[in-house]
A and B are shown apart, each in its own frame.
Chain A
């Protein structure tokens, strides 16, 4: 059973701080990695995708991937109350599985003023 584990929450940070969300995965052959944000009662929306080792930055968000350690993280700089949501890590098996994603259980982030 392929597994994706996220750091247990909830995570609470003050406004303006850096929020760090972590995810480990069991399938060493995984190819693509995604972070989704989900507000309460809503569907997930894509925040970041990353495919190769290293960092990828998009505005206040930075995704970090280390395939050797089977670890992917999401950093949110200058956190805002509007960032308060559940963050889902998803891993794509690739190959013949064609886009089949395995999701972590999610980490609840609260940014307090």
Chain B
């Protein structure tokens, strides 16, 4: 089955703690993206990567970090510098076709203890 997986489904963070959200895809897509969604809001882009070992900041990158060491994987770290991390985090991927449709994983809900 081809698709995008995210883990864990729920994640709890303590004050001052860094946490890492996993995103894996087996669609052979070149590009991967991380979005944040707050209640009643649309999606806001955190980081994106068009190719392995390269990534760009999105609109709300402060307090987050990413890596892209493998084509299939794009983990997101929420650092202690992110003061309001409670949100629904969505990972997406797309191919390099002209349409560049993005497909989403199931999401990780991050809560602060």
Looking at the assembled complex, report how far the CB atom of A36 sits from the nearest CB atom of chain B, in whole angstroms.
Answer: 8
Question: Residue B43 contacts which of A32, A44, A49, A51 (CB distance < 8 angstroms)?
Answer: A44
- Chain A interface size, as a band, is 20 to 34
Interface of A is mostly: strand
Contact A34-B101, Cβ < 8 Å, known A98-B50, A100-B48, A105-B42: yes
One digit per residue, 1 when the CB lies within 8 angstroms of any chain A CB and 0 when it does not, for chain B 33-54 equals 1010000111111001010000
Contact A32-B106, Cβ < 8 Å, known A98-B50, A101-B45, A105-B42: no
User: CB distance B100 to A98 under 8 Å?
Assistant: yes
A103 surroundings in chain B (CB, below 8 A): 35, 42-44
Interface residue count on the B side (C-beta < 8 Å): 23
Interface residue ranges of A46-98 to B (CB < 8 Å)? 46, 49, 51, 88, 90, 92, 98
B102 surroundings in chain A (CB, below 8 A): 34, 46, 90, 99, 101
Chain A residue with Cβ nearest B4? A43
A100 CA to B32 CA, complexed, in Å: 10
User: CB distance A43 to B104 under 8 Å?
Assistant: yes
Q: Considering the complex of A and B, which 6 residue pairs feature the smallest CB-CB distances, nearest first?
A: A103-B42, A99-B100, A43-B104, A103-B43, A105-B42, A43-B107
Can you list 7 A-B pairs, Cβ within 8 angstroms, ordered by A?
A: A44-B43, A51-B99, A88-B42, A99-B94, A99-B100, A103-B44, A105-B42
